[in-house]
Amino acid sequence: MLQHGGRLSSSAAEHPDLFYSGVASSSASHLRSLPVTAATGLCDLSHGRWVPDTQPPLYTNDTCRHIHPSQNCLQNARPDKGYLNWRWKPVMCELLPFDGMQFLGLMRGKRLVFIGDSISRNHMQSLQCALSQVESPQNLYSDERGKAFTWHFPSHNFTLANIWSPFLVNHSVEQNLYKLYLDVPDMAWTSQLRQYDVAIISTGYWYFRPSLYYLKNGVLGANSYAQLNITTIKLVPTLKVALKRVFKYIAKEYKGIVMLRTVTVDHFEHGSWNDGGICNRTSPYAETDNLLSMPWMNSEINKVQIEEFEKSAARSREPWRYEILNVTYSAFLRPDGHPGPYRIQEPSEPVFDCLHWCLPGPIDMWNQLVLHTIQNYSPRKSA
């Protein structure tokens, strides 16, 4: 594996807060705290509880053909269906049900893009399934890896797309080591961003992969997962540097609506994804549970995402274009919403997916937040 000495580059010397000695904080450790909020008036959409709901989901695996095979839990013989019968009840208000006809009407002649990793694509396919109950979309583009798509709803002239960009910054990979250029937004999306009227941005879990970091064309360091003979860098401050540059680019180059979807929460128990971790719960956490402490790392990532996004909005002449979809806490309460063992197995030996979300499932609530944001968007001229 690639080795580097421990000497800091000039870029590294300018960012001493990024460095530490020792092992990165475990995402399994917990800190009892309320989530960072993104309130709208008296209504805090980010905090609330899941309540029983007798209404059927907007779609099923029979009525939507766009579900990724590994998230098609019903088709993959998940026996319990109780995870489908809950709705999100925010504090001090009600979140209106998703209305596909209304959404397509508001987005007539517009283009919306999801930019991020596989959870971003998971969200895109959730929205696609909900909208396909109103109109069947046409596939304009699918990449050969199955990571990026563009769909068109012809009667509404609405385009829905997702762009694969797991780090949001430029990167390459060699022998399972990722090289991240923290100050260079990923050309995969910067080359296309201006084509879209609405952009939903997200990242998070890929920063746990073995990574070597570059800043100002120099080697900055690496995370602990890389196991390199080089200065170790904290994950959260590294993400902060990348997000600051990404949001700066968006503020300068993009004039559409920008939504930041915050990090989700995985629910591996008794191990992690690669060493026997499982998720077999069949109901949400309740407020009376003793497990209502958000995982420390998810909480810290949530905070830095919101802080950097709000800083960018505050510097903008058009702060009303910025909106946070703070789903971290609501996702934390849904350990029952993952495919678990009910996914397409590659390899054939059982592997639990406790990160992505069943479709239909809890992730469909995120579309209510997107519709809420679009409904409340009111462009104003700068003073």
Number of Cβ within a 10 Å radius of residue 79: 8
8 A C-beta contact, residue 114 and residue 159: no
Q: Supply the DSSP string of 10-25, one letter for each residue.
A: HHHHT-GGGB-SSPPP
User: Tokens 């960072």 correspond to what residue?
Assistant: 36
Run of H or E residues at 240 = helix 235-253
Catalytic residue among 27, 46, 70, 118: 118
Told to judge if 283 belongs to the known catalytic residues of this protein, a careful annotator would answer no
CB burial of 334-349 (b: ≥16 within 10 Å; e: otherwise) equals: bbbbbbbbbbeeeeee
Told to judge if 123 belongs to the known catalytic residues of this protein, a careful annotator would answer no
| Nearest CA among 83, 89, 92 for reference residue 48 | 89
CA distance 307 to 243: 10
Q: Looking at this protein, which amino acid is placed at residue 338?
A: H
Q: Supply the DSSP string of 147-168, one letter for each residue.
A: --EEEEEGGGTEEEEEEE-SSS
C-alpha separations of 378 from 266, 374, 381 in Å? 35, 9, 10
Q: How far is CA 312 from the centre of its chain?
A: 19
Catalytic residue among 66, 356, 364, 372: 356
Tell me whether strands 44-52 and 169-174 are parallel, antiparallel or unpaired: unpaired
Told to judge if 316 belongs to the known catalytic residues of this protein, a careful annotator would answer no
User: Tokens 């990449």 correspond to what residue?
Assistant: 143
Catalytic residue among 117, 186, 336, 353: 353
Catalytic residues: 118, 353, 356
